[in-house]
């Protein structure tokens, strides 16, 4: 999978489940990461929003003073978002492991 900064997702041999752009969501902050999650994937934007497409978790917004720069999933279906400040936010079943801030 590949996510373009404007919100498009290109599947390249994996099932296409959707994209922020196809959902008519404003991703003017830019897509910063995509990660597989179960039978789908999560797409994170610099505007601190994580979109879930056929994933067990996601569709969250983290109120943070810095933009999101990455996203990663855990084996139980949760995920973490990494902010530019070094802060890591745990979502759903993902356990907090600390941060660099």
The pLDDT tens digits of the residues spanning 46-86 come to: 888 888 888 877 677 777 788 989 999 888 878 888 999 88
- Percent of the chain exceeding pLDDT 70 equals 92
Tokens at residue 64, please? 């943070």
Local structure of residue 19 (DSSP, 8 states)? -
Tell me the C-alpha distance between 53 and 69, whole Å: 19
- CATH class of segment(s) 2-91: mainly beta
Burial of residue 85 (number of CB atoms within 10 Å: 0-12, 13-18, 19+):
middle
pLDDT higher at 22 or 11: 11
pTM score of the predicted model? 0.79
* 101 band by pLDDT with thresholds 50, 70 and 90: low
Q: Give the mean pLDDT of the chain.
A: 82
* 24 band by pLDDT with thresholds 50, 70 and 90: low
Alpha carbon 40 to its chain's center: 12
The separation between the first and the last C-alpha atoms of the chain, rounded to the nearest angstrom, is: 30
């Amino acid at each position: 999978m590949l996510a373009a900064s404007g919100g498009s997702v290109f599947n390249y041999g994996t099932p296409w489940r959707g994209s922020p752009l196809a959902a008519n969501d404003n991703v003017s902050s830019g897509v910063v990461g995509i990660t597989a999650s179960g039978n789908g994937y999560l797409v994170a934007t610099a505007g601190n929003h994580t979109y879930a497409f056929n994933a067990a978790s996601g569709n969250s917004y983290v109120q943070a003073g810095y933009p999101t720069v990455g996203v990663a999933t855990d084996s139980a279906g949760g995920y973490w978002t990494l902010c530019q400040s070094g802060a890591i936010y745990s979502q759903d079943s993902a356990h907090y492991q600390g941060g660099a801030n």
